[in-house]
Amino acid sequence: MVLLCLRHFVVDTGAPIAHDRDDANPTGLVKVKLDPRNVFRTIAFAEAVSWACLLIAMYIKYGPADNPTGVKIFGMIHGILFLSYLATVLFVRDRFRWSAKTLVLAALSAIPPFCTAVFEVLADRRGLLTESPTPSPEYASVDR
């Protein structure tokens, strides 16, 4: 749900909030504004942590314990976070005005272990995780 709604994330509070009980919002749901930078950084870090968990589970599976349960659990978690990271990369590229090269590097960083965290740190240091203001139509150029 977070990936599909980067601008507004709807949280069900369980009960209508007093100031939300009006005709404009009869469901009592609260809209929370999410920062695309924080969403990207969180998912990139979670994907890197899931890599670590999967590698530990693989060691346990093929090591002395010979127990495949961890790989089943952490494999699915890592797969979900891997796809979530790729979807997040696609969603934030326009907000951050990434070039095609940056987009490809961000996507490829999900393949080697821990590289999403490395990419996130380097991109943040280089200012690639800041939203660029959208140019007004009179300054927009087709010749870019």
Is position 83 within any domain? yes
Distance of CA 72 to the CA centre of its chain: 23
Q: Which helix (H) or strand (E) covers residue 9, if one does?
A: strand 8-11
2-11, 73-82, 85-94: range with lowest mean pLDDT = 2-11
The pLDDT of residue 22 is 52
Say yes or no: 49 and 59 in one domain. yes
The pLDDT of residue 125 is 94
**Of residues 24 and 42, more confidently modeled:** 42
Confidence category of residue 13, pLDDT binned at 50, 70, 90: very low
Say yes or no: 21 and 45 in one domain. no
Say yes or no: 48 and 27 in one domain. no
Is position 131 within any domain? no
**Of residues 99 and 143, more confidently modeled:** 99
Query: Which of helix, strand or coil describes residue 35?
Result: coil
Is position 134 within any domain? no
The pTM (predicted TM-score) of the whole model is 0.70
The pLDDT of residue 64 is 81
Say yes or no: 50 and 18 in one domain. no
Say yes or no: 80 and 22 in one domain. no
Is position 139 within any domain? no
Report yes or no: 40 and 106 within 8 Å, Cβ to Cβ. no
Structural domain that includes position 12: 1-34
What DSSP letter does each residue of 72-139 carry, written as one string? HHHHHHHHHHHHHHHHHHHHHHHHHT--HHHHHHHHHTTSSTTHHHHHHHHHHHTTTTSPPPPPPTTT
